[in-house]
Amino acid sequence: MNDKPAVTVRDDPERGVFLALLDDGTEAGGAYYERSGDVVSFDHTEVPSELEGQGVGSALARGALDTVRARGERIVVKCPFIRAYLERHPEYQDLRADRG
Q: What pLDDT is recorded for position 73?
A: 97
Query: What is the distance between the alpha carbons of residues 46 and 75, in angstroms, rounded to a whole number?
Result: 18
Q: Give the CATH number of domain 7-95; options: 3.20.20.150, 3.40.630.30, 3.40.50.720, 3.40.640.10.
A: 3.40.630.30
The pLDDT tens digits along the chain (100 residues) read 457 789 999 999 999 999 999 998 999 999 999 999 999 999 999 999 999 999 999 999 999 999 999 999 999 999 999 999 999 999 999 999 976 5
Give the start-to-end residue ranges of the domains of the chain: 7-95
The sheet carrying 27-36 orders its strands as 7-12, 17-22, 27-36, 39-46, 74-77
Give the pLDDT confidence score for residue 1 in this predicted structure: 46
